[in-house]
């Protein structure tokens, strides 16, 4: 790699490194991943994430190993509605298969050869009785036996371990207060762990290829409504993807901010997803509509970076860093994984009960998906809370955008007196006003 490329690449990754530090991330991977030749690459990536300060909770599956082990014993596998029935005689086999997978993961996380990427990593991996389970019970006359579901996650114990810099490893097993062992689905464990910990992210490593729409385009983002629609209408989803989408929906609806579906078929997918702006997976999130947040002084650099090209081509009025620093608290921002991708500002003129909507901008790569619309809604909400009755905007190139959102042409004379005095007659911006 030439040095210039390396430096550019490293600099581009740095905002993401900073953004993810101290965040709690639950990572789910199946038993197939552990079996795969390149499992150590996945482990190296996890070790790197840990060393960059991400609190990791790993959840492994063991479906293939359990099936293989049961088949070897000549036992017939029995699934009803996608759920395995675990007979009492199967349980020791299940425990053995899960135990072996867990040991394999722990061993891999203990590597530290001098010439390997794990050298010096010295990871501490912790597991324990943090998942309380209950039996799935009898449904439509089928007794699921020792197949269970998560009843509770001991989040305090997990938090304590994470705070002590350990990686927490959870298996698809749980114990009941009666002292029994239950076979759980790894998806159930991961979702419940992410929900209990209010994790910043749930990363789901899948065996399937990337999710694509009917036109074979990669789907990079979905909101819960889209997921529901996809589950109801698509007949091409693999069983695994459907399970993962249901999991994402449940997690998102229960307060997990971001669920990323990532294909294991892409080398380094976890790193690409976390440390590059666009990632390589499918992000399921509510954030598109609720992700605007007030700016703080730390955001000045990010806002300047976003608006600079628009100032350079004259679309937006130039703002100096100093001015922006004093006015930053007027801005609302949209963020994606720590990078600022949209902004809008509200300048109130309380005497006239008017507010100026200014500096509306969305990064070129993220346009046409309702983001500016979401910012406008949030500014309107803010304006109403401040008792303002109307919003005005000065624009040279986005007149129709505002008109289509209820702004009406107005005159310079309609502006608050202070603004009128500063009106730039050379720029000849058009004035629009919206009644709130």
Ligand X SMILES: CC(C)(COP(=O)(O)OP(=O)(O)OC[C@H]1O[C@@H](n2cnc3c(N)ncnc32)[C@H](O)[C@@H]1OP(=O)(O)O)[C@@H](O)C(=O)NCCC(=O)NCCS
Q: Which residues bind ligand X (CB under 6 A)?
A: 310, 315-316, 358-362, 367-373, 393, 395, 397-398, 400-401
Q: Answer for the pair 70, 92: CB distance below 8 angstroms, yes or no.
A: no
In the bound state with ligand X, the residue whose beta carbon lies nearer, of 259 and 393, is 393
To the nearest whole angstrom, how small is the minimum distance from the Cβ of residue 343 to ligand X? 9
- Which tokens is 132 given? 């309380």
Give me the phi and psi of 114, to 5 degrees please: -55, -35
To the nearest whole angstrom, how small is the minimum distance from the Cβ of residue 373 to ligand X? 3
Q: Are strands 55-60 and 24-29 parallel, antiparallel or unpaired?
A: parallel
Q: How far is CA 235 from the centre of its chain?
A: 26
Q: Which of 373, 390, 379 lies closest to 433, judged by CA?
A: 390
In the bound state with ligand X, the residue whose beta carbon lies nearer, of 321 and 400, is 400
Q: How far is CA 384 from the centre of its chain?
A: 31
To the nearest whole angstrom, how small is the minimum distance from the Cβ of residue 75 to ligand X? 55
Close Cβ partners of 149 (under 8 Å, ≥ 6 residues apart): 133, 134, 136, 182, 184, 188
Residue with tokens 């038993």: 31
The count of other CB atoms within 10 Å of the CB of residue 415 is 21
In the bound state with ligand X, the residue whose beta carbon lies nearer, of 171 and 292, is 292
Among the residues of 202-262, which ranges form H helices?
224-233, 239-253
To the nearest whole angstrom, how small is the minimum distance from the Cβ of residue 338 to ligand X? 19
In the bound state with ligand X, the residue whose beta carbon lies nearer, of 269 and 303, is 303
Q: How many CA atoms lie less than 13 Å away from 411 in the CB half-sphere? A: 2
In the bound state with ligand X, the residue whose beta carbon lies nearer, of 26 and 346, is 346
To the nearest whole angstrom, how small is the minimum distance from the Cβ of residue 398 to ligand X? 4
In the bound state with ligand X, the residue whose beta carbon lies nearer, of 99 and 406, is 406
To the nearest whole angstrom, how small is the minimum distance from the Cβ of residue 377 to ligand X? 10
């Amino acid at each position: 790699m030439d040095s210039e490329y390396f430096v550019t690449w490293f600099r581009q990754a740095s905002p993401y490194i900073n953004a993810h530090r101290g965040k709690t991330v639950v990572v789910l991977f199946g038993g197939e991943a552990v079996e795969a030749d390149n499992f150590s690459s996945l482990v190296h990536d996890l070790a790197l994430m840990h060393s960059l300060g991400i609190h990791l909770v790993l959840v492994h599956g063991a479906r293939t190993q359990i099936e293989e082990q049961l088949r070897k014993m000549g036992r017939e596998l029995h699934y009803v509605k996608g759920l395995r029935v675990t007979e009492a005689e199967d349980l020791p086999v299940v425990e053995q298969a899960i135990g072996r997978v867990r040991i394999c993961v722990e061993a891999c996380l203990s590597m530290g050869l001098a010439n390997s990427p794990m050298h010096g990593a010295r990871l501490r991996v912790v597991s324990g009785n943090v998942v309380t389970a209950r039996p799935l019970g009898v449904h439509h006359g089928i007794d699921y036996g020792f197949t269970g579901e998560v009843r509770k996650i001991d989040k305090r114990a997990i938090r304590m371990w994470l705070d002590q810099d350990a990686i927490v490893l959870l298996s698809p097993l749980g114990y009941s207060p009666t002292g029994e062992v239950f076979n759980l689905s790894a998806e159930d464990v991961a979702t419940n762990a992410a929900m209990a910990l209010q994790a910043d992210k749930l990363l789901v490593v899948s065996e399937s290829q990337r999710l694509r729409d009917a036109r074979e385009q990669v789907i990079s983002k979905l909101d819960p409504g889209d997921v529901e629609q996809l589950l109801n209408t698509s007949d091409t989803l693999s069983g695994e993807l459907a399970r993962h989408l249901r999991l994402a929906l449940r997690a998102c609806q229960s307060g997990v901010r971001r669920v990323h579906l990532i294909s294991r078929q892409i080398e380094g997918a976890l790193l690409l997803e976390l440390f590059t702006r666009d990632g390589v997976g499918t992000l399921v999130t509510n954030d598109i509509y609720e992700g605007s947040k007030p700016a703080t002084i730390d955001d000045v650099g990010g806002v300047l970076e976003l608006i600079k090209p628009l100032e350079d081509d004259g679309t937006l009025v130039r703002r100096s860093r100093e001015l922006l620093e004093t006015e930053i608290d007027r801005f609302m921002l949209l963020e994606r994984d720590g990078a600022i991708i949209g902004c809008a500002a509200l300048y109130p003129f309380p005497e006239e009960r008017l507010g100026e909507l200014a500096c509306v901008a969305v990064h070129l790569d993220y346009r046409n998906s309702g983001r500016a619309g979401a910012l406008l809604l949030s500014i309107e909400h803010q304006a109403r809370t401040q008792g303002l009755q109307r919003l005005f905007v000065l624009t040279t190139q986005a007149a129709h955008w505002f008109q289509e959102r209820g702004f009406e042409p107005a005159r310079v004379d309609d502006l608050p007196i202070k603004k009128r005095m500063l009106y730039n007659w050379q720029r000849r911006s058009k004035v629009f006003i919206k009644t709130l």
